[in-house]
Amino acid sequence: MPSNHGVAYMGTGKVEVQSIDFPKLELREQKRKCHHGVILKVVSTNICGSDQHMVRGRTTAPQGLILGHEITGEVIETGRDVEFIKKGDIVSVPFNIACGRCANCKEGKTGICLNVNPARPGAAYGYVDMGGWVGGQAEYVMVPYADFNLLKFPDRDQAMAKIKDLTLLSDIFPTGYHGAVSAGVGPGATVYVAGAGPVGLACAASCHLLGAAVVIVGDLNKERLAQARRFGCETVDVSKSATVQEQIENILGVPEVDCAIDCVGFEARGCGHNHSKEVPAQVLNSVMEITKAGGAIGIPGLYVTGDPGAVDEAAKVGSLSIRIGLGWAKSHTFVTGQCPVMRYHRRLMMAILHDKIKIAKATNVQVISLKGAPKGYTDFDKGAARKYVIDPHGMIKA
């Protein structure tokens, strides 16, 4: 049996590559065989901003948790009940773990499956409070409900040629796209995307794919704002003394947009002179100010129910000072929660395969080894304008 190594969270600011058990076709929590699962040799697995929340100590994640919910792999073993996925297939793994059988799954709400997490609806690989599933920042990983969950790429050689783009189908591309769709982005729309991290950049690229006329990306990080400009976005530097509204007016001639997307989440910082201070509800309140009356706001940015590092007691349990009265007065629509990846990933795959979008270029993918994962976490935490993709087996060509 091959060895296996994975990236483990070992406390605030610390991750390390450890020797871990080789996966088995079994459900550890339920102590029974997983005949509907497969074992994957991991082709690529990505570092996500959501992982960084845990590594910064901003969740209740336990030490020893094997990280990684963005997984693309080659099937090397299938369970007895798997019919349509075969050994040798290259597949994308939605970060949502879903059974395909419950009421929510049958309604397409795979981000809140009722059968994969005993604590609450919804599960993910390698994530706090998400069902205890082993993460995929590893050499090998087990995936349950394979026939339902996995997206098989139609041609192996084509998939490997475009793997830097296709690896983003497991999370950030569908998540960014979901934020844009939730906000009502369409042809001719003016859009504000808060946050120029990988999800924000994926969202901005998705807005272009959906036909937006102007996409404005806001952030504090000048390197990330420069990356947004490289593929045609306008930018707002929220560290400047000019308000977001004023900067938007300089771009559009009016101080508001049709749609807005929060790709920052609960670790938001203030604007202008206040930008060094954490203000958890900053983005939510800001996007209500700059979104037109009757507009919609997509919120793919992560908000948690437990944040031990929060700035105040209320925020530690996810209670934020949101100006809901403003959103009510402007008849805003809000869409929150995990992206239901399976709603979008097949068509987004086709957009990649047929060269309708260069999502790896937009998010500035950088491939690293499994051994290089700790440094990738460190550099990402410092604000590097890159999407780090881990290549555990050296399968990705330069």
Give ranges for CATH 3.40.50.720 in the chain.
176-336
Whether residue 146 contacts residue 37, with contact meaning beta carbons closer than 8 Å, is answered with yes
Label residue 1 by pLDDT band (50, 70, 90): low
> What's the mean pLDDT when you consider all of the chain?
96
pLDDT of 39 above 70? yes
pLDDT above 90 (res 274) = no
Query: Residue 272: pLDDT band by 50, 70, 90 thresholds?
Result: confident
| CATH number among 3.30.450.40, 3.90.180.10, 3.60.40.10, 3.40.50.620, domain 5-171+340-390 | 3.90.180.10
| pLDDT over 70 (residue 66) | yes
Please state the rounded mean pLDDT for residues 69-96: 98
3-state SS assignment for residue 362: helix
Per cent of the chain over pLDDT 70 is 99
pLDDT digits (tens, 9 = 90+) for 111-170: 999 999 999 999 999 999 999 999 999 999 999 999 999 999 999 999 999 999 999 999
Q: What are 232-267's pLDDT values in tens digits?
A: 999 999 999 999 999 999 999 999 999 999 999 999
Residues of the chain within CATH 3.90.180.10 domain(s) are 5-171+340-390
The torsion region of residue 211 among left (phi > 0), alpha (psi -120 to 50) and beta comes to: left
The torsion angle over the Cα atoms of residues 242, 246, 250 and 255, rounded to 10 degrees, is 170
DSSP codes, 76-111: EEE-TT--S--TT-EEEE-SB---S-SHHHHTT-GG
Q: How confident is the model at residue 398 (pLDDT cuts 50, 70, 90)?
A: confident
Per DSSP, what are the bridge partners of residue 218? 194, 236
Residue 102 CA to residue 112 CA, distance in Å, equals 10
Half-sphere exposure of 319 (CA within 13 A, CB side): 4
The average pLDDT across 15-20 equals 97
- Residue 31 pLDDT greater than 80, yes or no: no
Average pLDDT score over residue span 279-306: 96
What DSSP character marks residue 117? -
Residue 5 pairs with which residues in a beta bridge? Answer: 19
Question: Is 31 or 383 the better-scoring residue by pLDDT?
Answer: 383
Rounded Cα distance between 286 and 64, Å, is: 37
DSSP state, residue 392:
T
- Residue 360 pLDDT class (50, 70, 90 cuts): very high
Question: Which residues on neighbouring strands pair with residue 368, listed in sequence order?
Answer: 390
The answer to whether the beta carbons of residues 248 and 240 sit under 8 Å apart is no
> What does the pLDDT read at residue 179?
98
Lowest-confidence range among 60-69, 267-276, 314-323?
267-276
> Average pLDDT for residues 186-209, to the nearest whole number?
98
- Residue 119 pairs in a beta bridge with none
- Alpha carbon of 63 to those of 22, 25, 307, 387: distances in Å? 19, 24, 16, 24
Q: Which CATH superfamily is domain 176-336 in?
A: NAD(P)-binding Rossmann-like Domain (3.40.50.720)
Q: Is 114 left (phi over 0), alpha (psi -120 to 50) or beta?
A: alpha
pLDDT at 151: 98
CA distance 23 to 3: 10
Q: What is the per-residue pLDDT for 29?
A: 67
Percent of the residues in the chain that have a pLDDT greater than 90, as a whole number: 94
Mind listing the pLDDT tens digit for each residue in 203-221?
A: 999 999 999 999 999 999 9
